Amino acid sequence: MISSLSIRPEPDHPPLQVDRPDPYLVLWTPGAPHGRRKTRTVKNTHRPVWDQCFDFMLDPQHDTELRVHLMDRGAAVDQLLGKVRVDISELPLDKELYQELRFP
């Protein structure tokens, strides 16, 4: 099964709490072949906009979780700003679905 994921901006999301961040997302499904993806880095913004789409090859019996890490690209080391886990076991296969992600 191939599942597509589109990363789009959320206009009402609160700004990132980091001084001049360079944010990007890392997305993956544990156990899926080639199941790790990364968005582009958006420079110097508290309200990043990613309009990217990713395809994942999933086994519905084993790949039931999508992990998303919000990162800040640093000069020496990248910093984790937040992380969420999304249960994908019940997602419809043939419909577009919008799901808001909030990073703690």
Whether the model clears a pTM of 0.85, i.e. scores above it, the answer is no
2-87: in CATH 2.60.40.150 = yes
| Domain residue extents for the chain | 2-87
CA dist 82 and 23 (Å) reads 11
Query: Judging by DSSP bridges, how do beta strands 79-87 and 65-72 pair with one another?
Result: antiparallel
| Structure-block tokens of residue 54 | 């990713």
The pLDDT of residue 34 is 76
CA dist 39 and 17 (Å) reads 20
What is the pLDDT tens value at each position of the chain, 104 positions in all?
Answer: 445 555 555 555 555 666 788 999 999 888 777 788 999 999 998 888 887 888 777 776 776 788 999 999 988 999 998 899 988 877 776 666 677 777 77
